[in-house]
Amino acid sequence: MLKAGTQKRLWDFLSLGWLPTSVRLLVFGSWGICLGLAALVAHISRAPSYLSDDPEVCVNCHVMRPEYVSWRHSSHAEVAHCNDCHVPQDSFWRHWLFKARDGLWHATVFTMRWEPQVIKLSKRAEPVVEQNCRRCHEALISFTSLREHAPGDLRCWDCHTEVPHGSVRGLATTPGYLDPSLPPVGPNTVGPRIGGREPRASGEGAGR
């Protein structure tokens, strides 16, 4: 137990009692604003959901929907979720450190709108996915010539190009992703504009 005098000095230090009252109010007010903004961002971004293994969490960022849809229609959908493939499974600490680092990087990329039209694995993530492929398919690998290759010499997807997300995908190419709707036709609209030009009237140009 700390002595009464020591406890008082410690409390004065932690409560900023050594600062003028006006400065203390400013500091505590700033801390309150920062905590409030952090709570708001966590709520808007659904931050607590990223602690789960639910694949639907990945589509919190709409740009990941092509990857989700292609996975959902693949054979892997019944046996493996996003984290099973994309996050290390060999260590509890490595699992969560990798997930936190990757999540912060993804949040930065999507917030700044740096994402490409077609999202691909980063070089840093390739060994993780490769290791998880080998972990799940260890029995099959032992009967193939792949065991002769060191990890990194030949990636599983160099041959299995369609697994599980397909070789052709993107924000505008994944079936079931885009559901466009046309605006209602106004009363004075003759027809759709083609290439920025007004459509020709009926019969115009006939006989040419």
State pLDDT tens for residues 48-58: 888 888 888 88
d(CA 177, CA 173) in angstroms, rounded, equals 8
Same domain membership, residue 99 and residue 30: no
Structure-derived torsion over alpha carbons of residues 35, 41, 45, 47, reported in degrees to the nearest 10: -10
Same domain membership, residue 172 and residue 130: yes
21 domain residue, yes or no = yes
**Domain total of the chain:** 2
d(CA 9, CA 36) in angstroms, rounded, equals 29
Same domain membership, residue 125 and residue 25: no
Distance of CA 32 to the CA centre of its chain: 29
> Which are the contacts of 18, defined by CB distance < 8 A and separation ≥ 6?
12
| Residue 95 identity (one-letter amino acid) | H
Same domain membership, residue 69 and residue 27: no
Output the pLDDT for position 128.
Answer: 94
| Residue 94 identity (one-letter amino acid) | R
pLDDT-derived band at 175, boundaries 50, 70, 90:
low
Output the pLDDT for position 180.
Answer: 44
77 vs 32, 73, 164, 186, CA distance in Å?
A: 44, 7, 9, 44
d(CA 47, CA 51) in angstroms, rounded, equals 8
138 domain residue, yes or no = yes
Same domain membership, residue 57 and residue 39: no
Residue 60 pLDDT greater than 50, yes or no: yes
Output the pLDDT for position 169.
Answer: 66
Q: Which of 88-92, 110-114, 189-193 has the lowest average pLDDT?
A: 189-193
d(CA 110, CA 36) in angstroms, rounded, equals 23
Same domain membership, residue 29 and residue 82: no
* Of residues 129, 30, 23, 119, the one with CA closest to residue 66: 119
State pLDDT tens for residues 107-160: 888 888 888 877 888 889 999 999 999 899 888 877 776 666 666 677 888 888
When pLDDT is averaged across residues 49-77 and rounded to a whole number, the result is 85
Measured on CA atoms in the order 14, 15, 20, 26, is the torsion positive or negative? positive
Cβ pair 199, 191 in contact under 8 A: yes
202 domain residue, yes or no = no
Same domain membership, residue 163 and residue 94: yes
| Residue 112 identity (one-letter amino acid) | M
Output the pLDDT for position 178.
Answer: 46
pLDDT-derived band at 190, boundaries 50, 70, 90:
very low
State pLDDT tens for residues 23-40: 888 888 999 999 999 899
Cβ pair 46, 98 in contact under 8 A: no
Q: Could you list the residue range(s) of the whole structural domain that residue 138 is in?
A: 53-177
Residue 62 pLDDT greater than 90, yes or no: no
Contacts 24+ apart (CB under 8 A), 101-109: 103/50, 106/61, 107/45
190 domain residue, yes or no = no
When pLDDT is averaged across residues 75-87 and rounded to a whole number, the result is 91
Same domain membership, residue 62 and residue 132: yes
26 domain residue, yes or no = yes
